[in-house]
């Protein structure tokens, strides 16, 4: 098992004057879950299409499971890859079961596998309804089912949780984790960051066709040196931070009556916490390490603001 799931070397793709992918080099080892993040139009879908051989690079090289997706054994390679396109569509006049069976035959997979897949995505009850009556979420789930046909070694999921409700999203990530546990490599793209970080091993951030960063969230955090945010609530509706003697004149920002916020570098965190917990007027205290949102915002050049509500939500 020495092969890498995905290996891009100086991948370049131009559509006319537009550089859709600009010198992207990325190595994804087998058995990991990667999040491919970026704005709409950052190049996520274009990148996935290269992995499927649907697009031919303008420059550079693409290797998937050690092989070229546009080479002579591309078809054999595609048997080992599962793909969920963004906003997946199906034949409206066919039922869910018929669709899945059709795709199973195209992939030379026993049709008996379909029933288990349908159960897996909880579509058994709707399996005999025409796809035209499906909701977005159901279509997405059918899309996942077809991507998982034939036990692929690599799953490419383009915005897999778009249109899924929170329960279905959780269920989906549980399935992803289970598949990863079985050794499946997974690349999932998303422009919604909240929640993704808990489910992926590593992230790659794309912006305007360039690979801005790649690695574990911890690595990226360390690299960008974003401050840890510490919020403190004091007893009483005080509007100014009452500095205690010996405490360094740290910038405490008032964010509400009796509520203050500190931004400290990672290495200064413990010292400040010791000082804060030593005080007897501190009622409540929370520590927020930089989230994926913050890291992402940093890389995408968005000005650094206080963590947003969604970032807090993701951290709890």
Partner 1 sequence: MSVVRTIAIKEFRDGLRNRWVVAITIVFALLAIGIAYFGPAASGTVGFASLATTVVSLASLAVFLIPLIALMLAYDSIVGERELGTLLLVLSYPISRRQLIVGKFFGHGAIMAVSTVVGFGAAGLLIAGLTRQLANPEFWGAFGLFIVSATLLGLVFVGIAYLISVSVSEKSKAAGIALVVWFGFVIVFDLALLGVLVVTRGAVGDVGRTIFPYLLLLNPTDMFRAANLIGFSTVRSYVGLANSVNGGVLSPVVLIGGLLVWIVVPLWLAVRRFRRQEM
Give me the residues that bind partner 1 (CB under 8 A), please: 49, 52, 54-56, 75-79, 81, 83, 85, 87-93, 102-103, 105-108, 146
The residues near 271 (Cβ < 8 Å, ≥ 6 apart) are none
Work out how close the CB of 91 gets to partner 1 at its nearest, in angstroms, rounded to a whole number: 6
Give every CB contact of residue 65 below 8 A, 6+ residues apart in sequence: 3, 4, 5, 30, 77, 80, 81, 153, 154
What is d(CA 212, CA 300) in angstroms, rounded to the nearest whole number? 8
Q: Which is nearer to partner 1, 53 or 207 (CB)?
A: 53
Closest CB to partner 1 among residues 12, 269 = 12
Strand order in the sheet with 259-264: 253-256, 259-264, 228-234, 282-288
Nearer to partner 1, 35 or 53 (CB): 53
Q: Which residue's CB is nearer to partner 1, number 123 or number 212?
A: 123
User: Smallest gap, in angstroms, from Cβ of residue 221 to partner 1?
Assistant: 34
CB of 83 to partner 1, least distance (A): 4
Nearer to partner 1, 100 or 193 (CB): 100
* Nearest partner of 171 among 132, 137, 201, 202, judged by Cα: 137
Spell 274-288 as b/e; 16+ CB within 10 A means b: eebeeeeeeeeeeeb
């Amino acid at each position: 098992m020495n092969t890498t799931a995905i290996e891009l070397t100086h991948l370049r793709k131009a559509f006319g004057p537009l550089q859709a992918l600009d010198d992207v080099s990325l190595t994804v080892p087998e058995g990991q879950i990667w999040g491919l993040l970026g704005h709409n139009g950052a190049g996520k879908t274009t990148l996935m299409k290269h992995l499927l051989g649907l697009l031919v690079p303008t420059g550079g090289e693409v290797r998937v499971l050690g092989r070229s997706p546009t080479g002579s054994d591309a078809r054999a390679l595609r048997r080992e890859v599962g793909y969920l396109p963004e906003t997946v569509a199906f034949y409206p006049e066919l039922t869910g079961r018929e669709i899945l069976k059709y795709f199973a035959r195209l992939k030379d997979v026993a049709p008996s596998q379909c029933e288990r897949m349908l159960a897996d995505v909880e579509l058994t009850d709707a399996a005999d309804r025409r796809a035209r009556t499906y909701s977005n979420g159901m279509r997405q789930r059918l899309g996942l089912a077809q991507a998982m046909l034939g036990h692929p070694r690599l799953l490419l999921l383009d915005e897999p949780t778009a249109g899924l409700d929170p329960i279905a999203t959780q269920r989906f990530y549980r399935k992803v984790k289970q598949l990863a546990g079985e050794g499946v490599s997974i690349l999932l793209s998303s422009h919604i960051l909240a929640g993704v970080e808990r489910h992926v091993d590593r992230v790659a951030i794309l912006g305007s066709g360039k690979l801005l960063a790649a690695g574990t969230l911890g690595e990226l955090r360390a690299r960008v040196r974003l401050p840890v945010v510490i919020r403190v609530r004091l007893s009483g509706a005080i509007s100014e931070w009452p500095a205690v003697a010996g405490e360094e004149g740290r910038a405490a920002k008032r964010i509400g009556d009796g509520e203050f916020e500190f931004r400290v570098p990672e290495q200064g965190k413990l010292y400040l916490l010791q000082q804060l917990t030593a005080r007897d007027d501190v009622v409540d205290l929370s520590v927020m390490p930089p989230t994926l949102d913050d890291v992402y915002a940093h890389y995408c050049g968005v000005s650094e603001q206080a963590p947003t509500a969604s970032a807090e939500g993701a951290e709890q």
